[in-house]
Structure 1
Amino acid sequence: MSQMNGHNGNGHYSNGHHANGNGNGNGNGHKSGMITTAPKPEIKDSQSFNFLPSFTAPEKGVVLRQSPTWSRGVVWTIVGVTVAAIIWAAVAPIEQVVQATGQLKPQGKVKEVQAPVNGVVKEVLVKDGEKVEKGEVLVIFDTEASKAELASYKQIRQALQQENQFYQMLMEENLDPSQVETAIIQLKLPKEVATLARNRIALMAENQLFRIQVGESVANAALDREQFARLEAARRELDSRALAAKLEINQLQKQLSQTQVQLADAESQLVADRLVLQEIKTRNEDLLQQSQASLKIEQQILSEISPLAEEGALARYQINKQQQSVNDRIADIVEKQGNGEIEYKKQLQQIETRIAEIQRFQEEEQRLQAAISQARERYMNTQAVTEKDVRDRIAENKKRMAEVDSQLTKIIVDNRNRIAEYDSQISRANQTLRYQELRAPVGGTVFDLQAFPGFVPQPSQAEALLKIVPDDYLIAEVDVINKDIGFVRNDMKADIRIDSFPFSEYGDIKGKVVSIGSDALPPDEIYKYYRFPTRIQLDDQFLKIQNREIPLQSGMSISANIKIRENRTVLSLFTEQFTRSVESLKKVD
């Protein structure tokens, strides 16, 4: 029993290597009194394990148990690490970003401080880079020149107003020529304008004279000696026209009487000529009948004696003589017919001439009668015709006065425009006097200072005296290249790194995308590629290091990492690379 306890109860097999792992045969390190064990068979090393080195029993047990456990542990360790790495790669997130560069700029625009009015800079109270508060005095102007300009503008404006008042009075009232000359001298009007004023006064005076001439009453008509002389001359001209019209009527009546006498003579001659024509016609007809009767007798005698001559009863000579008588009678008839026709035509032509003469006398009579009627009308309407002429001249003078008034109105309009310009200049001069101190419109930092004592700004050229960067929140303005803009969206997070401060030491600033340009900016001399302007709002306006805040400044160059995908895993990188490799192989094929 003691051997069993010594070997079985506390031996190697019961100490955890072969039994229960607790140093006992039953797992408790002690032998149970209820269990009997068979004696252990004796093992011969030379028969069963002659290929193993000779070890003692405890050493032999240790070697046989340690070798397979260690190998399996290494294998399982590698497998576990690999599985854990795959699981980590499948679930571990990795960020994908789009890089962009740009600058920090104020959220509000840079304020260009311009001179509100003309003036000479007297004193500059700020310097480049200096911080200023809103309402702080920046520049003081010299007002002496503005005061002199203001006085000059007022004087010119007053002269223009007086000139316009004179033109209005000239067009609306009856001014005396002496008053016009006095105004021309006092106002120092140009030669052309003075000529217009004198012409209008002359035309107006002439129209007054014409109205008096036709019997109209003219208010405030004070005619001078020359105008009275012209009025008397016009009246004498009227009397002369009436006398001339009367003389013309008398002459026309005399001509009409002569024409009527000639017409009566011509008509009586026409009657006589027609009677002569009728006599010629009757005489010619009678002579023709007589000649034809004689010819008929002669022809009858010839026809009666011709048979006798053939029979030889009469001589041939008598036949020929009778034939000659017939021929002579025929010739006489022809001659008488011709002479009668000539005489008839001549008398007929004389009648036609007489008729034409009568027609001419009749036309002359009608013309003279019409002329007499017109002369009588002129004589009767001499006064009316004279009034018409006068009124026509009045209308012509009014037309010329309207042309003068049109030119004067144009001058008035031009003067009013000039007055408006001078009013504006007077207002600016008053502003210069009121705003002799130029103040900061916003708080910020001064830069690009152009003003200096003696500097003369020109507001019309929009020249800034200085610029102020507002103390507003800064915002990052970056340019995203064309191939990356498709992934960028509003409200995406971004990391902003300031180029002036190393990232490893100062870190970065968080932000988010607030706006993306709707169109790409074309390449230029600085940027050789298309780009989209993008604005990123910053979470902080400073960099913090060692409990010290470093404020940001406008114009600092930056680089931004815009996070376009935050749910991507490490495993997706390998799958994406694998996909690209496969696609490249397809392209090669």
Structure 2
Amino acid sequence: MLIGGAVILVLVVGLSVWASVSPLSTGVSAQGEVRVEMNRKSVRHKEGGVVRQVLVQEGQHVRAGQPLIIYNDVEARAAHDVLQHEYDSLQAQVARFSAEAQGKTSVDFPPELMSRMADPRVSGLIRDQQVLFTTREQLFQSQNSVLSQRIDQLQSQIEGDQTQVDSADEQIKLTKDEMDGYQILYDKGFAPKPLILRYQRSIADLSGHKGQLLSDIARLKQQQGETRMQMAANRDTRTSQAAEGLRDSQAHIADTAPRLTAADQALDQTVVRAPVDGYVFNLTQFTVGGVTAPGEELMNLVPSNAPIIVEATIKPQDINKIHEGMPAKVRFTGLNSRWHGPLDGKVIMISADKISARASGLQPAGPSASGAGPDSFYRADVRIDPQELTKLAKTTQITPGMPASVMLVAGKRTVMGSLLSPITDTMRGALSDQ
């Protein structure tokens, strides 16, 4: 008995001491929900049109750049494809003309085209330009081959004539030697004059033949020079034609490129993308085939990194107990309380007048004061410190409309003070009446 009494006494004393020194937060409790008006991003489409696909749902989390809605792109794609084909064709022509102008034996098509060889239109353009290059190259080489053979033939004739010239020189030399021998005999009267004249005629004939051969050699060399000039002219013509084609194609590319860029943008704009990471709400488009007007709002996005604002409903009888800058403790009632404690926040705005719950869509916490009406409340916006969100699990997502309980902290008092507060308040009221 004594031991039991002692234990009870110790417990009573211990609880009394704990209740006397343990602090509790005091203040105003309220209900609220996560709101988004302060940070929402309005998503619109400049041109409007016929909706082909709606890729998101209300409340869905999206990443920046993620497609949200796709519009009918038949006209935009047709215009884009025409310009893309024209641009690709010009690029292929530029590659061919460049190869011809530089005298290359093959065409180096740009990597941007080669990477799209799986596209039949692109592979067809490359094949056509390659065939045209090969045909023109073969024609050029064939012409050069004929002219080169002509030069070789002329060279053979020159060499043949030169051989005859050398032979004529040798015959003239031998004939002169023979004539000189007979000339000595003729001078001594031992040889007839007609013999000397016959040798002189032979030398003259040989000299004339030699002159004809030299003339032929000169003519043949001239023909060789003319043939080489024709080869050079063919090469220059090919180069100049390729250079002219290159300039024209590059000029057309300069004209087509900005139009293709505009068509790219027009096609890309048929896909409405998320401007930021965030959550979809107020989605207005649900029907495939629906028509939207230019600039019509399609949905709103709440940025993921935006400060969390809890809009709390304050009972009219509590309005004098709160003020801007007041600290707050927030719990998200939709989450398991075992996994997160209260998050610190601060009151950043208090409505100047009462608000109708029916008009606002919010439900005030608890019964209202007499005369205020059951549907009236004050609004207090509580901003949660972003650093506090790290207390939540990484997989936790705070979404618009999520319910929350809010404690607006007015001060602290002990547990004992809280227990005795009703008694002391009653006594204080009784003394005031006396």
Per the normalisation by structure 2, the TM-score is 0.42
Larger of the two Rg values belongs to structure: 1
Q: Bigger relative contact order, structure 1 or 2, given CA contacts below 8 A and separation 6+?
A: 2
Per the normalisation by structure 1, the TM-score is 0.32
Structure whose residues are more often strand by fraction: 2
Structure whose residues are more often helix by fraction: 1
